[in-house]
Structure 1
Amino acid sequence: MRIGIDWRRRWRHLATGSAAMIALMLGVARLSAWPEWQSLGESDALLRLSFAHSGARNCRARTDEELAALPRNMRTAEVCDRRRAPVEIEFDLDGQTVFAAALAPSGLSGSGPSRLYRRFVVSAGDHRVAVRMRDDPAAAGFTQQAAFDLKLDPADSVAIDFDATAGRFYLH
């Protein structure tokens, strides 16, 4: 007794299944390209302001009495609050402030970085952008500033980010 499938009797099932699979693949291919969608207008460009940066901590020097009361392995000269300061940001586009906010620190204890992601749809052409940030509330004025002259073509996408190690804003 031979055990197996007699493929000669199943040709109708195979042909029907193959036709159904081809129709399904063609339908998916058609729907994947329809409807046509464009996130920006034909003469628009995109500016993105995106960064994660930690604000300053409030620290104070310990007194000699406090240091003497601590075990030797815990004697640090400074003690800092766990919570970080909010980061203040201002963004100007062509001389007008279009965004200003105080970004709270992330995390349950407020010890993480402040995060920002904002999109600005602008018309293509020449633009002047300026970014100002204050990460230390004790400092007078803004601690980091940058200004950029941009020439944006239609559908361009430019991101403004902050590099904490270099202490400056940059474009990419």
Structure 2
Amino acid sequence: MNRALNWTGQALLYGCFAVAIAVFTRWPVYHPLGPDMAQIKVSFIHHGQRLAECRPYTEEEKAKMAPNMRRAMKCERERSPVSIEVDLDGKTVLQRTAAPAGLSRDGSSTVYQRLDVPAGEHQITVRLNDSAQTGDFAYQREETIHLKPAQVLVVDFNLDKGGIVLQ
């Protein structure tokens, strides 16, 4: 008798657990975006320009180094932060400066930002600067885009593809 109650109780608990899982697979309904919304994702990893130009070692500096460590040029490791601006229909919606990663600040700068925007036609302008030595943006792309509801537009940076990429 006791064994039958254990089996019945265990079956009842497993059944309740299965019903709870079935309910939560359908309810509540999740909508990542509103019905007439689209999304722009700014996502890139990029190394900024070096902060200092490479220069030749002086003879005194070479003399202080071990023979196996002597190189012709000295290049500083630190890199410039990367700045990005995104304008949508003439209004700035993102303005971010990403510092280089690493203890020596010699790694890549990383930006990831999601922007929810109304679906439809928009004028987008993306500007990127990867050099602290110049105040101007080295890369710029301006384009008219048409976003459908629930569409995701990714803004990336790839030098092999000409710089700023919209996909």
- Return the TM-score normalized by structure 1: 0.82
Hey, what's the Cα distance between the residues in 2 that align with 1:119 and 1:9?
58
Q: Which residue of 2 aligns with 1:19?
A: 12
Q: Which of 158, 164, 171 is 2:166 aligned to? A: 171
Larger radius of gyration: 1
Hey, what's the Cα distance between the residues in 2 that align with 1:116 and 1:161?
10
Q: Does structure 2 retain, via aligned residues, the 8 Å contact 1:53–1:164?
A: no
Hey, what's the Cα distance between the residues in 1 that align with 2:62 and 2:3?
91
Q: Does structure 2 retain, via aligned residues, the 8 Å contact 1:67–1:76?
A: no
Is there any run of 5+ residues in structure 2 with no aligned partner, and where?
Answer: none
Corresponding pairs, count: 165
Cα distance change on mapping 1:167 and 1:139 into 2, 3 Å: farther
Q: Which residue of 1 aligns with 2:54?
A: 60
Is there any run of 5+ residues in structure 1 with no aligned partner, and where?
Answer: 1-7
Hey, what's the Cα distance between the residues in 2 that align with 1:93 and 1:126?
10
2:27 is equivalent to residue 34 of structure 1: yes
- Deviation string 1:23-52 (CA, Å, 9 cap, x unpaired) is 210112202332223232111111111111
Q: Which residue of 1 aligns with 2:90?
A: 95
Deviates more, 1:31-40 or 1:65-74: 65-74
Cα RMSD after superposing both structures: 2.3
Q: Does structure 1 retain, via aligned residues, the 8 Å contact 2:57–2:73?
A: no
Q: Does structure 1 retain, via aligned residues, the 8 Å contact 2:43–2:111?
A: yes
Hey, what's the Cα distance between the residues in 1 that align with 2:13 and 2:62?
83
Q: Does structure 2 retain, via aligned residues, the 8 Å contact 1:56–1:136?
A: yes
2:164 is equivalent to residue 148 of structure 1: no
Q: Does structure 2 retain, via aligned residues, the 8 Å contact 1:59–1:78?
A: no
Q: Does structure 2 retain, via aligned residues, the 8 Å contact 1:89–1:131?
A: yes
